[in-house]
Amino acid sequence: MPELPEVETVVRQFVPLLVGRRLTRIELLDDKLTLPPAICKTPRRVEAVERLGKQFVLRFGDGAPLLAVHLRMTGRLKWHNQPSAPDTAHLRARFILEHGEMLFYDLRRFGTLVVASSAEELAPKGLDPFDARFTPKWLFEQCQRTSQAVKPFLLRQDRLVGLGNIYCSEILYTARVDPERPCNTLTRAAVARIQRHTIEILERAIEHCGTTFSDFQDSRGEIGSYQAFLAVYGREGEACPSCGAAIRRIVQQQRSTFYCARCQR
Ligand SMILES: [Zn+2]
């Protein structure tokens, strides 16, 4: 499932291809996708491509509505400007420009296209980890309000947006915090480590996605070859890179959590 770093990577890839260019029309190839016909037929200049939570958002000039693509489970966006016809398997929509097209593929068809009059309408309820308001103080205040275990808390999209299951295990391992610790028992220092490593791990993942972008695309939305940079996720029974103890797997709210019981307190 594309997580925040993957969506950010896709946005960065498309900025130079789309910004300042004219989107001439949109063709929908799947009955599950709906857009007002005027949106599909009216040519508009793309003013910006940005990420809002895990949505890929196109902004246009002249006060035209915004268009968001939510990739969900298996959606992906691919650029095509070859003379040959594009691959049509699982192709759901074509965004046609003068110099090529952005193709929306979606194997499982959970992806959506949404039109909104403002970014506020699309904005997720939770805070983006790259928002300047995401500070140790803010996170500590949120943690004080709940006795929920810290791992499922980090996954809550109404608090912090875009942290997926893999990243939550990695963040807590790097911050040396027990995933089962109730949030309101965390010290300020522990919360500050979680905050810092959240940003660091996401930045590293974005950097990594950038260099393995073709793998990411080829894997149809699955995370590509970045297993190598994960310290604990998917490594049950392997030695902790820091202390050598066996990495454990537990299930919290139906999701696997990987951690080192010796390093994470
Ligand atoms: Zn360890």
Q: Tell me which residues have their CB within 5 A of the ion that is ligand 1.
A: 240, 242-243, 245, 260, 262-263
Active site residue 193: no
Would you list the domain boundaries of the chain?
4-122, 136-259
pLDDT above 90 (res 217): no
Q: How confident is the model at residue 210 (pLDDT cuts 50, 70, 90)?
A: low
pLDDT above 60 (res 223): no
Between 227 and 94, the more confident residue is 94
Q: How confident is the model at residue 216 (pLDDT cuts 50, 70, 90)?
A: very low
CATH number given to 136-259? 1.10.8.50
pLDDT score recorded for residue 196: 98
Q: How confident is the model at residue 62 (pLDDT cuts 50, 70, 90)?
A: confident
Tokens of 208: 């990594």
pLDDT score recorded for residue 247: 98
The sign of the dihedral angle between the CA atoms of 171, 175, 179, 183 is: negative
CATH number for 4-122: choose from 3.20.190.10, 3.10.129.10, 3.20.20.80, 3.30.70.260: 3.20.190.10
The sign of the dihedral angle between the CA atoms of 125, 93, 2, 15 is: negative
pLDDT above 50 (res 221): no
pLDDT above 60 (res 189): yes
Q: How confident is the model at residue 218 (pLDDT cuts 50, 70, 90)?
A: very low
Q: What is the mean pLDDT of residues 89-97?
A: 96
Residues near 191 by beta carbon (within 8 Å), at least 6 away in sequence: 136, 139, 140, 143
Choose among 90, 95, 78: nearest CA to 14.
78
Q: Which residue is catalytic, options 44, 51, 54, 151? A: 54
Active site residue 120: no
Average pLDDT, the chain: 90
